[in-house]
Structure 1
Amino acid sequence: MTRLKNALRGHFIAPVKTAGEEPTDKDYLELAKWISGVTDDTDEETDDTGFYDGDGTKETTVTGVSGAYTFEGFYDSEDPAQALVAAKKYKIGEDRKVWHKVVSADRKKQWIGLATISDIKAGDGDATDYEAFGCKLTFNQLPKEKPFP
């Protein structure tokens, strides 16, 4: 199998228009310009339990998954995706939600779901640095996996 660069994986966001209604492909904005790092911050909850039908060794069961990605880079207020994130900085509750679509680097699969934006940075850093950008997108439920068109 060929190794693929992380930059080939796509992260797209879209505003929430009508609750529960997925956006069309043209509604999505790619979160990529001046983004230098994306960290998979998925959190898993597990339960370790041993059973009498085995030898008593504990088995790990994943009981919950909270998918999340953290973005970092430089801020461009004219980039539509970064502008959407920046506009949510002083919002709370439902106003922090967006659609998040992740496309695999091999362009074979995609994961789509509602997500909450947190840890927004849109203009941050030392005086001699370029303005920093960052945010965390956390899926509110398990995203739906689909083949990529």
Structure 2
Amino acid sequence: MTRLKNALRGHFIAPVPTTGAEPADSDYLELAKWISGVTDDTNEETDDTGFYDGDGTKETTVTGVSGAYTFDGFYDSEDPAQALVAAKKYKIGDDRKLWHKIVSADGKKQWTGLATVSDIKAGDGDATDYEAFGCKLTFNQLPKEKAITPPSGGGSGE
């Protein structure tokens, strides 16, 4: 298997349509410009229990997963994705929700779900630094996984 750079993984966001349905692919904006780091901050809840039908050794069961990603970089107020995040800074409740889509670095899978944006930074830092940008996107439910099929046609021509 080939090692793939993190920069090949895509993170896309879209506003929540008034219908509440998932947005069209064309509505998603890539959250990438001037982003230098993305951290997987997924939180797992577990339960450790031993059973009499074993030797009493505790087994770990994952009881909950809260998928989350934290973005760090520089702020560009003209970038549509960063502007969408920045517009949520002084919002609360449902007004903090966005759709988040992740496309794997190999382009074979994607995960999509409604997420809440928090920890928004849109212009932050020392006077001599470039303005900082950052946010955390936390899925509100487990995201839906989907295989991505390459477009037909255009093969290698062999």
- TM-score tier after normalising by the smaller chain length: over 0.9
Structure 1 residue runs of 4+, over 6 Å off?
A: none
Task: Name the counterpart of 1:51.
Answer: 51
SS at match of 1:84: helix
TM-score by structure 2 length?
Answer: 0.91
SS at match of 1:81: helix
1:12 aligns with 2:12: yes
Query: What is the CA deviation profile of residues 2-58 of structure 1, one whole-angstrom value per residue up to 9, with x for unaligned ones?
Result: 000000000000000135400111000000000000000000000000000000000
**Bigger Rg, structure 1 or 2:** 2
Query: What is the CA deviation profile of residues 60-111 of structure 1, one whole-angstrom value per residue up to 9, with x for unaligned ones?
Result: 0000000000000000000000000000000000000000000000000000
Task: Name the counterpart of 1:25.
Answer: 25
Task: Name the counterpart of 2:88.
Answer: 88
SS at match of 1:91: coil
Partners of 2:43 and 2:19 in 1: CA distance: 25
Alignment size in residue pairs? 146
Partners of 1:20 and 1:59 in 2: CA distance: 40
Shift of the 17–86 alpha-carbon distance from structure 1 to 2, 3 Å rule, reads same
Task: Name the counterpart of 1:117.
Answer: 117
Identity among equivalent pairs (%): 91
Partners of 1:18 and 1:61 in 2: CA distance: 38
Query: How far off its partner does 1:114 sit?
Result: 0.2
Larger mean CA deviation between 17-26 and 63-72 belongs to 17-26
Instruction: State the Cα RMSD in Å.
Output: 0.6
TM-score by structure 1 length?
Answer: 0.97
Query: How far off its partner does 1:142 sit?
Result: 0.1
SS at match of 1:133: strand
Task: Name the counterpart of 1:99.
Answer: 99
SS at match of 2:62: strand
SS at match of 2:95: helix
Q: Give structure 1 stretches of 5+ with no counterpart.
A: none
Q: Give structure 2 stretches of 5+ with no counterpart.
A: 147-158
Shift of the 19–137 alpha-carbon distance from structure 1 to 2, 3 Å rule, reads farther
SS at match of 1:88: coil
Partners of 2:98 and 2:52 in 1: CA distance: 46
Shift of the 55–19 alpha-carbon distance from structure 1 to 2, 3 Å rule, reads farther
